[in-house]
Amino acid sequence: MRNAAWYSRFAKAASHFCGRPRVFALAVAIILVWLITGPLFGFSDTWQLVINTGTTIITFLMVFLIQNTQNRDTEAIQVKLDELIRATQGAHNALLDLEELEEENLDAFKAKYQALAAAARDGLGQGNQDTGTPEP
C-alpha cells in the first residue's frame, strides 16, 4: 500500500507539472531546436532517431500518468455522484455504485432510463412538462 501511495503522489505531482503552460512551451522549444538543428545534421537518420526516441519514451510514460490521473478523477466523481443520489429524496438508491455492475445489468438500467426519456419527449410534444418524478 505504501508503494501505491508513493506512486499516486508522484503521478499527481507529475500530471500537475506536465499540465502547465510553461512545460508545453518547453516541449515546443525542444521541437523547434530539433527542427533548427536539422540542416546542421543533414537531416540524418540519427537526427530523426533522436526526436522519435525521445517522444516515444515520453509518450509511453505519460500514458500511465494520464491513466492514473483519469482513474483517480473518475473514482472521485463517482463517489460524489453516489453521495448526491444518496442525499436526494426520491432518488433511486439502486443507482449507487452503478459503474460496478456487469454489462447486462447496466444495459437494463440504461434501457429503463432511455424509455423514461422517450416518454418525456413524447409528453413534451403533447404540451406536458418534462420535470418531476415519473410514475413507477
pLDDT band of 136, cuts 50, 70, 90: low
- For residue 108 the three cell numbers come to 437494463
pTM of the shown model = 0.66
Other C-beta atoms closer than 10 Å to the C-beta of 25 total 10
CA-based torsion, 16, 19, 20, 22: positive or negative: positive
Nearest residue to 120 via CA among 103, 134, 106:
134
- For residue 20 the three cell numbers come to 502547465
List, for residues 29-77, the tens digit of each pLDDT value: 999 999 999 999 999 999 999 999 999 999 999 999 999 989 999 999 9
Every domain of the chain and the residues it spans: 2-96, 101-136
